[in-house]
Amino acid sequence: MLRQLLSITQTAERLRVRPDYVRELVAKKRLSFTHGEQLDAAQVEKLARLMDKLRNNGIATLVEITAQDEAQKGEEPSEQ
């Protein structure tokens, strides 16, 4: 099975960010280069779906998810 690879430019277009930001994501290990400066399209797509969800639903979604996780653990929600 062959993996589809994307360039930094193609990845930036899919994530709707600058190419420099794609390099930052790689440096922070949110994405990883597969072959040279090529990225795995499946990994990029997974991140793109998360970013789209956060763009559409805002930061409130992230706060709600965090609060639910803490409630399930029996912790007090942290104030930010």
Give how far Cα 73 sits from Cα of 13, 21, 30, 68, Å: 38, 34, 26, 9
Nearest to 11 by CA among 30, 39, 34, 32: 39
Give the residue-averaged pLDDT of 9-31.
94
- Say how far apart CA 19 and CA 58 lie, in whole Å: 23
The structure's pTM equals 0.68
Q: Mind listing the pLDDT tens digit for each residue in 60-75?
A: 666 666 666 667 776 5
Dump pLDDT digits (tens) for 29-64: 999 998 899 999 999 999 999 888 887 776 666 666
